[in-house]
Structure formats: structure tokens, C-alpha cells
Amino acid sequence: MPELPEVETIVRDLRPCLVGRRIMAVKVSRKSLRRPWQRQWQKQLIGRGISALRRRGKWIVLALDGEFFLVIHLGMTGQLRVVPDREPVADHTHVICQLDGSTEQLRFRDIRRFGSATVLEDPDRLETFFQESNLGPEPFDLEAAYFRRCLAKTARCLKAVLLDQRVVAGVGNIYADEALFESHLHPLRRGVDLSTAEAGRLRKGIVTVMNRAIHLRGSSIRDYIGGSGLKGRYQEEFRVYGRAGQPCPRCRKAIRRLRVAGRSAHFCPGCQNKCPIVPSNVC
């Protein structure tokens, strides 16, 4: 699933291609996405200029004339690109917006259809939409006192806390593992057990990893490509994620993997060893 660095890369790629352009026509496939497409949305989009493009968590927001918004979530396999309209339409393309002033289209493709495209009217409705999605603050806006409170009141393990979009928006499986390694914290440590210093170290670790990944255009493992069609390179820099059995870049001990609430967690038993119990399903 594209996480914050991948979504941020797409937004940065598409911003110069879309801002100032106008949507002239819209085509929508008959196959449903995670959120059902409403028929009136096509009419609401046509003729509207794109005034801004931004990211919120893992969501992409196109701000349109008349205080309308096209809000896109990429799900697990979503791709959002501007391409020449003569390019053959790939299977699983669900929304096509014809752009003015050229022969280009904005295309949203999603093979597994866990993504969504939603049209909202009014900034207040947009804010309500994100509130209903229970989005926490951005990693770059994560206040120390807030983050410490979130950790202090939960007995959940750190891996689960970081994946909770209500606590911090945009962190997924890859960057949770990488942030915990950066912070020298075991994924099974409980939030309530962290000291103030450890909580601060984790908060900074999240930002460090996110900035590093954004600089390298995110991670291309399966379907992800940026808005320009280029792949990310951060997968070449993984410290622990997907490296079970390989040497730790710091202490050279073998990276290990365990299952946490149905998800994989990768860690170094040497650098991240402060954990009261390591379960038997570690590999």
C-alpha cells in the first residue's frame, strides 16, 4: 500500500502538471471502488479549474474552483498519473479526467479496487470527511506532548500504535519498521512503558525516515510508481523491512521478523533488544 512518502511524491510530481488546468470531461468505469461513485460528481467536476494539489495522510486532495474537492485514496495498488490521451487505457482504470489545453488525461488506476475517488463540496465538508476518517496529525506536525500522551495511555505494542492512523497519519508497515529501527526501539515494546526520552526519539525517528524516503521518491515494491511514472528508490535503502536473515547495517546481527496482529514486523535483535518477551513466532 502506498504510504506517506509515496503519496507525497505523487503529489509533487502532479502539481506542476495539474495546477492551473481545467477538467473538460470525465469518464468513470462501471466497477465499484471502496467508496461508491455518485453520478452527479461527473457533472460537478466538468469545467472546474484545479487550483491546488496537496496531501493529507495517505489521501490526495485536488482543490477545484467553486470550493469543490476531488479526494483520492490509492488503496493498495492505486496509481494516479497524467498521460497523453492517445496512450491506451490500461485495464483497471476507473476514473479519467480530460484536461484542457492539451491532449493529456489524469487517470486513476487501481487493480484491487481498495482505493476511492470522492467529490466533496465546501471546505467544512472536507474537514468533516477527514474527521470521520479519524486521521491524526501529520508526522511533521506531531507535537511532543501529544505523542507522549498517546503512548502513555496505551498498552498496545509500538508497531500497532504507529499503524494507527488516529495517532499519526500516513505511517504504514514499511515506515513503522524503519522508524522503530531508527529509534532503537523493539516493535513489541508497549507504548505505556516508554520513557519521555524514548517517546521523543521515536517521534524524531519517524520524521527522519519519512524525509529520507520522500527524498528517494518512496518505495517501489509492487505496483507503486510516482505521478511521473518513475519508480521510487527507498527500497534500496531499507535497514530492516524485508531483510529477515540479512545482517543489520549497524551491529551485523541477523534481522528477524515476527507477526504482530497479522502484519510482519522486522527488527534487529541487537539494536532493538529492549523487550520483555519475544514470542515464539519470531523468524
C-alpha cell at 141: 506536525
CATH number for position 199:
1.10.8.50
Mean predicted lDDT score pLDDT of the chain: 92
Mean pLDDT of 115-138: 96
| DSSP H or E stretch at residue 69 | strand 68-73
110 and 21 in a common domain:
yes
In terms of residue numbers, what domain contains 97? 4-132
Alpha carbons 49 and 45: distance in angstroms, whole number? 9
What per-residue confidence (pLDDT) applies to 203?
98
What per-residue confidence (pLDDT) applies to 104?
97
Residue 180 domain-assigned (yes or no): yes
Residue 279 domain-assigned (yes or no): no
153 and 109 in a common domain:
no
For residue range 202-241, what is the model confidence (pLDDT) as tens digits? Answer: 999 999 999 999 999 988 766 666 666 777 788 999 999 9
Residue 244, helix vs strand vs coil? coil
124 and 231 in a common domain:
no
Residue after which a domain boundary falls, among 132, 156, 183: 132
Residue after which a domain boundary falls, among 132, 157, 175: 132
Count the neighbouring beta carbons within 10 Å of the beta carbon of residue 171.
25
Beta bridge partner(s), residue 23: 99
182 included as an active-site residue: no
111 and 11 in a common domain:
yes
CATH number for position 14:
3.20.190.10
Query: Which residues in 31-154 belong to E strands, given as ranges?
Result: 50-56, 59-64, 68-73, 78-84, 93-99, 104-110, 116-121
Classify strands 78-84 and 93-99 as parallel, antiparallel or unpaired: unpaired
160 and 125 in a common domain:
no
Q: Which of the residues 56, 58, 148, 217 is marked catalytic?
A: 58
Does residue 156 contact residue 261 with C-beta atoms inside 8 Å? no
Q: With cut-offs at 50, 70 and 90, classify the pLDDT of residue 160.
A: very high
pLDDT for 51 beyond 60: yes
58 included as an active-site residue: yes
Closest Cα partner for 81 from 24, 30, 13? 13
Regarding predicted confidence, which is higher, 95 or 230? 95
Q: Which of the residues 201, 249, 263, 269 is marked catalytic?
A: 263
